[in-house]
Amino acid sequence: MAELREECGVFGIYDPKGKCADLTYYALVALQHRGQDGSGIAVNNDGDITHYKDLGLVNEVFDAERLAELKGTMAVGHVRYSTRNASAKFNIRENVQPLVLRYVKGNLAIAHNGSLVGTDSLRKELERSGAIFQTTTDTELIAYAIAKKRLEAGSVQGAVKEAMKVLKGAYCLLVMSPQKLIAARDPWGLRPLCMGRKGDAIVFASESCAFDSIDAEYIREIDPGEIVIVEKGTITSIRDHCTDSSSLCIFEHIYFARPDSNIAGQNVYEARKKSGMLLAQQCPVEADVVIGVPDSGIGAAAGYAEQSGIKYENGFIKNRYIGRTFIKPDQESREIAVKMKLNPLKSLLDGKRVIMVDDSIVRGTTCGQIIKMLRDVGVKEVHVKISSPLFLYPCYFGTDIPSTDELIATNHSVDEICKMIGADSLDFLSMENLHKICENSACGFCDGCFTGKYPVDVSE
Amino acid sequence: MAELREECGVFGIYDPKGKCADLTYYALVALQHRGQDGSGIAVNNDGDITHYKDLGLVNEVFDAERLAELKGTMAVGHVRYSTRNASAKFNIRENVQPLVLRYVKGNLAIAHNGSLVGTDSLRKELERSGAIFQTTTDTELIAYAIAKKRLEAGSVQGAVKEAMKVLKGAYCLLVMSPQKLIAARDPWGLRPLCMGRKGDAIVFASESCAFDSIDAEYIREIDPGEIVIVEKGTITSIRDHCTDSSSLCIFEHIYFARPDSNIAGQNVYEARKKSGMLLAQQCPVEADVVIGVPDSGIGAAAGYAEQSGIKYENGFIKNRYIGRTFIKPDQESREIAVKMKLNPLKSLLDGKRVIMVDDSIVRGTTCGQIIKMLRDVGVKEVHVKISSPLFLYPCYFGTDIPSTDELIATNHSVDEICKMIGADSLDFLSMENLHKICENSACGFCDGCFTGKYPVDVSE
Amino acid sequence: MAELREECGVFGIYDPKGKCADLTYYALVALQHRGQDGSGIAVNNDGDITHYKDLGLVNEVFDAERLAELKGTMAVGHVRYSTRNASAKFNIRENVQPLVLRYVKGNLAIAHNGSLVGTDSLRKELERSGAIFQTTTDTELIAYAIAKKRLEAGSVQGAVKEAMKVLKGAYCLLVMSPQKLIAARDPWGLRPLCMGRKGDAIVFASESCAFDSIDAEYIREIDPGEIVIVEKGTITSIRDHCTDSSSLCIFEHIYFARPDSNIAGQNVYEARKKSGMLLAQQCPVEADVVIGVPDSGIGAAAGYAEQSGIKYENGFIKNRYIGRTFIKPDQESREIAVKMKLNPLKSLLDGKRVIMVDDSIVRGTTCGQIIKMLRDVGVKEVHVKISSPLFLYPCYFGTDIPSTDELIATNHSVDEICKMIGADSLDFLSMENLHKICENSACGFCDGCFTGKYPVDVSE
Amino acid sequence: MAELREECGVFGIYDPKGKCADLTYYALVALQHRGQDGSGIAVNNDGDITHYKDLGLVNEVFDAERLAELKGTMAVGHVRYSTRNASAKFNIRENVQPLVLRYVKGNLAIAHNGSLVGTDSLRKELERSGAIFQTTTDTELIAYAIAKKRLEAGSVQGAVKEAMKVLKGAYCLLVMSPQKLIAARDPWGLRPLCMGRKGDAIVFASESCAFDSIDAEYIREIDPGEIVIVEKGTITSIRDHCTDSSSLCIFEHIYFARPDSNIAGQNVYEARKKSGMLLAQQCPVEADVVIGVPDSGIGAAAGYAEQSGIKYENGFIKNRYIGRTFIKPDQESREIAVKMKLNPLKSLLDGKRVIMVDDSIVRGTTCGQIIKMLRDVGVKEVHVKISSPLFLYPCYFGTDIPSTDELIATNHSVDEICKMIGADSLDFLSMENLHKICENSACGFCDGCFTGKYPVDVSE
């Protein structure tokens, strides 16, 4: 139960049979875990782009009537989480994607997942030439970067290629022009993006679980730096920005991605299980039972149990209906909020020595409350195993983390944290083991949040 | 009951006491007749601009909670009617104003009433330099025109002045920058805009009725071509674009404006009454009673009665609750729609020779139905007097009129129209008399819809 | 602009062609002035009764989709105003009508306009026998009264007849059973109810204006005490409760009813005009112009002008969009509220001696504010003429009036009131003249609010 | 993933500190799994009962503002699932509980979980005496039964006791009168109801998980037939209807209840685990991995794995955001619907022999689709183990099951079902083992859906 949240999921489809809006809707529901603040779909009906979007979950924004109005043979969709410290100021209707716009060559719809760095200078330069910004998203910057180069580049994919020369940081783009559907991924491959097929339809998604949900077949990743163009069913690729190295956010496997997604040949659940197995080797402890904190700690807990031979139990029951439940802003209600989400099973845990596996510790407050709940049902010992290293540095690529001084690990030793959360012992996955959890992946990784070393210059 | 509709109303306020959102809300309700499709308010809290807007009437978009969130000492508000032949495509949330944006010098909120001409070339030029358009409003064009010139001009009012060199057509602008509230009006003065005062607060509105509703005092018109700047309570004016001539849309007096508004020294109701008096002189007819078609025909009918000595009666009862009533799209329901709006009073009209005064005939269908309703309650003769000349030409300045081939007067003689609508006689106000109805106004008028002669070159 | 409000309007239809829901919807819009708090429609599809209802205006509660779901060949509809001093407690969803229920002989839908007296003992008696009440409406009491007698009576109309023996006060009922549509009116005829025809369809409504709006033809009043039964297109009548006398609420003509409605042979607008003419004879005064306070004062003003020969003017402009506008609960906003609704036309009134005609004075506060607005536009003298007598006593039959100690006339002389509202002179219609305004009506009248004498014993 | 659904959850609280509405809201969220169609809360403020309820989830119906309006020191809340074959006709706003009513002794709020039998005669008898029914719930019948006896009984608890003499079937009642909060449970104890304490507050709930979520302490079950009365903090009990036998619905443990709830001393998750262990002994099979169908099959799968020594895996990923997702009514979309909910993990299952544990098979269609999904990810063998016996008979006590001819087991042998769903083998828990899963419970059980033998006469 990490206290982190990520920034957005994207889906795109070219379908000559034209069931685009429905399939996009179903796929966005599968990607909902990547963003719950806003949702949108733009469709392309013979060159004419229409759209609908609003704040809210996919099934709050769209109903049968809305979907029926969105006719076309191409579509891009988006689920949004508003990072930037979740300020209400950024969670506004104007920011919901896809961004639909008119530029020198007609209409364009752009859906974006990621976070750029060095945008201040890019924005300033655009503003000096007369640009106006109606949102606070990077997507609008990307749109300008493409629009500026369109005439000169001679094609929309050419303009995307030119734009990518000035864009730094994480971006997975789906760009829909009157005739084309284009997928592009930053040269560092910081966020995932893959391609699939369903009959004659070509699909793109942030995660492969979206393909499973609509019964589409996974084909491959979009390579870091690659631009894939779908036009009238033909797929072409521009690889000018591709290099040999790549730096996928390692937190996708630890926490963000759905366990049933595969990224660069590595299943997410398997990676989590592996992290648990490595933890069991790295820091064994005597105990009666292993439990995972739902949902993201489950896989690692199963791995820990398998490796250690200690019994695995479904120790927590999670309330599936918690949704947007209003919680009063008093202390008692905030404590109730955690109890409403999770309930430990006394019959399984009472009197036991428990190994509790979770994905990360950010501020430490939730973890402390959960441990208290375990003590309340009679747990004798709580040994906390964290399936990632100490979270020490900011992320510049789309993970919404608190400011560094709120990170418990930047200010306290492991022993101190252990005492603060009330555990009997506490261990974090070592950096060495971290690199083993995805060692069969066909990509490299960014571990900047643990090391402070980033693949892109973040000095601005 | 003209079948025409107009494009938008604006309101702006600088109020050191900071009750801006509430007063803007009340004022927009007073201007609601100028646009019922969308509403918005942007407020300025010490340089920080926030806003809320949506499709719907003012009292549908705003409630106590929304207003409480909008704090500040400056505000601009807008009510929108989506012209362009009312295509659903233009009636979208993105088009609702004020347009709030970030440009080279921080935030800006722009509210606009009017319609530009020659925008295609301006838009093309901007697009060629990389501009992107997220709405289909002229307001966005205006925003670009201002943003392009901001650095060079040295001030926001300077940028407005520069922008006005390239903007052609009707525009009344309220521009709110971090420090200033600026009102600007096109050099032809096609749409109305006036200034008032309420205690220490300075207010601007499309019509003076907005001042009455918030108990503010009317000061004067913004002159055609004038730019008025309010900064920290001080009012200054730029008059570079002002000329001696002006061309206020004559239809504001005939139909659009609220009867209790005064424009350039001329009360609207008085102008309508005068038009009726002139009609009575121009084309007298023997009859028992004079009635007006609510609401815009009432004033002219009163004038006709007063001049002719024929008895005035409130011949129609209008349903005040018709609102957004759903009408089934079958023929019977469409006929019911008119009956739901208006009901003639049989007790006053049965057996009578009636003079029915209305403001205009556009397509002729509604007029025909109303005359049939009069026949049904026993009216013996129906003499129709129209308080404006034959509607023959398109408007390029913000009046939403059907295409020329739908205008009944372009294709039929007065005699033919008279037969088509089932009247016993039919007269239109002469061009000569039209010019007399506002002869005390401190401005000139555009009568392009009657003459085809426009104050601005509309050849593009 | 009386500060009074009335309790509900009803509409019913038997239509073998089955367009019942649509026509009921249109008719309810025409009756919306009788109640704006809630709306509902129940339809009968071959004996099966379904319904939809909610708080809100007719066009807020119903849309195309809702109407399409309501299929049937009979329908009853209702618009509700929640009287009882407008306590929020009574303005709840449960109270919205029609009341749809299941009783010993299947389903029943009941729509009711009026207010019973002596309900406490009836309610107590029912409660003692085990009844439960889920609403706070009289309608539920009526439903019980009918249900109790159904078996014994042998038919639903028989049960209605029996129920009427114990019901005292004002009630106009539309009762829809699986096979029948029944209209019933209290023996005193306190509230209006009439019958019409549209092709093969039979219709009932609180006011004839509903017939006009759907192009139906008025047939006749339901007589006081009469029960009319429609079954398979055949109309029968039970007249056991009919007597020679009747007591229609005189305030229907003065204020409640729409001017285009006819009640018992008397047009409402005509009655208002007559009241104005009588006022002109009763209390003439020298003045320059006569104006009416919209909407209910307009008719009387026209009559006063016609009789006195003093010029009539449309002196006030009314904002048609005021609707459910949120008004802040501070003093300034409350004053603005009146200004938002009404604006006097300075150009017509400045420097004039004005006769202002209104329908009634209840608390006196609104009237005072309006007079102040007249003074502000330069009116020299304000002579107030009220088209009804002094409002002195409570109403027990469905008019929502404040408690007696809030009625200005119970505590102050006419001279005192004149001073309090700031008028130059003040006159009320005499009782003698009141009785003349409807002297051609085919019914008697209740004037209990002026005389304290009621047609029904109200001692409980 | 049973295709069954249950009828409602209830919660009640007496809290002298008056935080009743908030705690009821949080508790209802914890009980949301028992009903997602409607929610309501009634509060008692010094004898005055107010309420709010509507169709929708708890967090859709209530927000901060609604909760703030519900002040009081007692409350009852309800979550509703509309059984009766889920006909739209029953899923109406009128049916949402608590039922709030006025009867001979003031106000009453009643929340009910369960389903009565023999209601036709009871209803008929009430109707013959003049009762009217405004809902289609049993709750209204119960209200009448209480109201009829109130005077004679001398107290509300006395009336509840008398009413229980005529009520047959499943009912857990929370009744709130002006002074008292009363909990009552049918003599057969068919549905669960328990009591707890939080500081000075007394609480009642359908399941103990509601207590955990608000940090209340479980005290005990309400005994079958017991009536518990809370008045001014004092708890008394009426046990006239209590007997030695009881018949809790065994499906509460198999499927309905939340795994973290304890009923009559038996934890639900433990019971499920036990059922899995018994299955492993009853019908062992060679396989590589055991998986459970989320959520209700998880516990039994864990038990099966533990007993058999075969590895347990989290084989399915469940989409947490599926909610009220609109699914198009075509075949492809219906298949997608299952894929959107569940996704099998290929990396864990490919090439494996799998034991899939689920709670029940009703129609068999969903089970067949899930097995097909397993085949699609490469599963070699699918052995299905069902943790309950063959579902053969209807339920009369609140479980919403299809008509008997839709139950796959009534028309097909186990072998046939195995073929129809595409499994390699299929086993159901034996009746003998069923009775062992809760053998430590302090209650008896109803197993009528497996045996056709019911504790109450259901012949009517």
Give backbone dihedrals phi and psi of C93, rounded to 5 degrees, phi first: -55, -35
The tens digit of pLDDT for each residue in B216-248 reads 999 999 999 999 999 999 999 999 999 989 999
pLDDT at A405: 82
- Asked if the Cβ–Cβ distance from A29 to D312 is below 8 Å, we say no
pLDDT at A174: 98
B340 in contact with C, Cβ within 8 Å: yes
In the predicted structure, residue B186 carries a pLDDT above the cut 90: yes
In the predicted structure, residue B110 carries a pLDDT above the cut 70: yes
Summarize the confidence of residues D10-31 as an average pLDDT.
95
Angle at C259 between CA C253 and CA C263, to 5 degrees: 55
In the predicted structure, residue B459 carries a pLDDT above the cut 80: yes
**pLDDT-based confidence at residue B6 (cuts at 50, 70, 90):** low
pLDDT at D326: 80
Do the Cβ atoms of C298 and C358 come closer than 8 Å? no
The tens digit of pLDDT for each residue in B308-350 reads 999 999 999 999 888 777 888 888 888 888 899 999 999 999 9
Rounded CA gap, A272 and A264, in Å? 15
**pLDDT-based confidence at residue D3 (cuts at 50, 70, 90):** low
pLDDT at B405: 82
A378 in contact with B, Cβ within 8 Å: no
- Asked if the Cβ–Cβ distance from D215 to A335 is below 8 Å, we say yes
Do the Cβ atoms of B400 and B6 come closer than 8 Å? yes
Token representation of residue A278: 């490595």
pLDDT at B400: 77
Other C-beta atoms within 10 Å of A406: how many?
14
Q: Min CA distance, A422 vs chain D (Å)?
A: 20
Give the catalytic positions of D in this structure: 8
**Of A197, A180, A387, A383, the residue nearest A285 (C-alpha):** A383
In the predicted structure, residue D105 carries a pLDDT above the cut 70: yes
Contacts of D130 in chain C (CB under 8 A): 103-104, 129, 131, 144, 147-150
Residue A304, classed as helix, strand or coil, is helix
Q: Which residues does D422 contact at the CB level (< 8 Å), separation at least 6?
A: D368, D371, D372, D375, D382
CA Rg value for chain B: 22
Find, in chain A, the residue whose alpha carbon is nearest to that of D208.
A343
pLDDT at D5: 56
Query: How many CB pairs lie under 8 A apart between chains A and D?
Result: 148
**pLDDT-based confidence at residue D4 (cuts at 50, 70, 90):** low
Q: Min CA distance, D133 vs chain C (Å)?
A: 5
B99 in contact with A, Cβ within 8 Å: yes
- Asked if the Cβ–Cβ distance from D132 to C151 is below 8 Å, we say no
Distances from the Cα of A56 to the Cα of A210, B12, C81, angstroms? 19, 32, 35
The tens digit of pLDDT for each residue in D346-374 reads 999 999 999 999 999 988 889 999 999 99
Among the ranges given (A118-127, B428-437, D269-278), the one the predictor scored with the smallest mean pLDDT? A118-127
Percent of chain D with pLDDT over 90: 83
Q: Among this protein's residues, is B418 annotated catalytic?
A: no
- Asked if the Cβ–Cβ distance from B321 to C29 is below 8 Å, we say yes
In the predicted structure, residue D88 carries a pLDDT above the cut 70: no
Checking DSSP bridges between strand B201-205 and strand B217-221, what pairing results, if any? unpaired
Q: Min CA distance, B19 vs chain A (Å)?
A: 22
Angle at D398 between CA D393 and CA D399, to 5 degrees: 50
Give pLDDT < 70 ranges for chain A.
1-6, 83-91
Residue D335, classed as helix, strand or coil, is helix
Q: Which of C48, C105, C125, C134 to mutate to test the interface with D (most CBs of D within 10 A)?
A: C134
Question: What is the distance of C-alpha A357 from the center of its chain?
Answer: 21
B350 in contact with C, Cβ within 8 Å: no
pLDDT at B145: 97
pLDDT at B5: 56
Q: Report the interhelical angle of A298-308 vs A268-282 (nearest 10°).
A: 50
Other C-beta atoms within 10 Å of D151: how many?
15
ipTM above 0.90, yes or no: yes
Find, in chain D, the residue whose alpha carbon is nearest to that of A68.
D328
The verdict on whether omega for the bond into residue D427 sits within 30 degrees of 0, i.e. cis, is: no
Distances from the Cα of D423 to the Cα of B288, D298, D364, D373, D426, angstroms? 91, 19, 11, 12, 7
Distances from the Cα of D402 to the Cα of B187, D345, D405, D454, angstroms? 75, 31, 8, 18
Checking DSSP bridges between strand A248-249 and strand C248-249, what pairing results, if any? unpaired
Distances from the Cα of B295 to the Cα of B358, B426, C339, C346, D47, angstroms? 9, 20, 19, 19, 53
Residue where the block lists tokens 């997942």 = A113
**pLDDT-based confidence at residue D157 (cuts at 50, 70, 90):** very high
Token representation of residue A146: 């493409």
Contacts of A30 in chain D (CB under 8 A): 319, 340
Contacts of A331 in chain D (CB under 8 A): none
- Asked if the Cβ–Cβ distance from B101 to A148 is below 8 Å, we say no
D45-84 residues touching C, CB cutoff 8 A: 50
Global confidence as pTM: 0.94
pLDDT at A90: 58
Q: Print the SS3 string covering B380-436.
A: CEEEEEECCCCCCCCCCCCEECCCHHHCHHHHCCHHHHHHHHCCCEEEECCHHHHCC
Checking DSSP bridges between strand A194-198 and strand A201-205, what pairing results, if any? antiparallel
Continuous segment of H or E residues that includes residue A146: helix A138-153
Count Cβ atoms within 10 A of the Cβ of residue D423 and give its class: 0-12 exposed, 13-18 middle, 19 or more buried.
buried
- Asked if the Cβ–Cβ distance from A134 to B103 is below 8 Å, we say no
Contacts of C129 in chain D (CB under 8 A): 129-130
Write the DSSP assignment of B225-274 as a string of letters: T-EEEEETTEEEEE-TT--S---EETHIIIIIS-TT-EETTEEHHHHHHH
Q: Which of B31, B288, B320, B373 to mutate to test the interface with C (most CBs of C within 10 A)?
A: B320
| B131, amino acid identity | A
Find, in chain D, the residue whose alpha carbon is nearest to that of C109.
D134
**pLDDT-based confidence at residue B177 (cuts at 50, 70, 90):** very high
pLDDT at A320: 87
C234-293 residues touching B, CB cutoff 8 A: 258-260, 262, 267, 269-270
Of C260, C322, C345, the CB nearest to B259: C345
Summarize the confidence of residues D127-140 as an average pLDDT.
94
Percent of chain D with pLDDT over 70: 97
**Neighbours of B (≥3 Cβ pairs closer than 8 A)?**
A, C
Q: What is the signed CA dihedral for D391, D396, D402, D406, rounded to 10 degrees?
A: 50
Q: Which residues does B453 contact at the CB level (< 8 Å), separation at least 6?
A: B447
In the predicted structure, residue B370 carries a pLDDT above the cut 50: yes
- Asked if the Cβ–Cβ distance from C326 to B25 is below 8 Å, we say yes
Write the DSSP assignment of C304-348 as a string of letters: HHHHH-PEE---EEE-TT-TT----SSHHHHHHHHHHHEEE-HHH
pLDDT at B90: 59
pLDDT at B7: 73
pLDDT at C3: 52
**Of D63, D43, D212, the residue nearest A327 (C-alpha):** D63
The tens digit of pLDDT for each residue in A191-222 reads 999 999 999 999 999 999 999 999 999 999 99
The per-residue pLDDT of chain B, averaged, comes to 93
Q: Print the SS3 string covering C200-216.
A: CEEEEECCCHHHHHCCC
In the predicted structure, residue D322 carries a pLDDT above the cut 90: no
**pLDDT-based confidence at residue B56 (cuts at 50, 70, 90):** very high
Q: For every one of its 460 residues, what pLDDT tens digit does chain C have, with 9 covering 90 and above?
A: 445 555 799 999 999 998 899 999 999 999 999 999 999 999 999 999 999 999 999 999 999 889 999 999 999 999 998 754 444 555 689 999 999 999 999 999 999 999 999 899 999 999 999 999 999 999 999 999 999 999 999 999 999 999 999 999 999 999 999 999 999 999 999 999 999 999 999 999 999 999 999 999 999 999 999 999 999 999 999 999 999 899 999 999 999 999 999 999 999 999 999 999 999 999 999 999 999 999 889 999 999 999 999 999 999 999 988 877 788 888 888 888 889 999 999 999 999 999 999 999 988 889 999 999 999 999 999 999 999 999 999 999 988 777 788 889 998 999 999 999 999 999 999 999 999 999 889 899 999 999 999 999 988 7
Residue where the block lists tokens 């930053």 = A186
- Asked if the Cβ–Cβ distance from C131 to D151 is below 8 Å, we say no
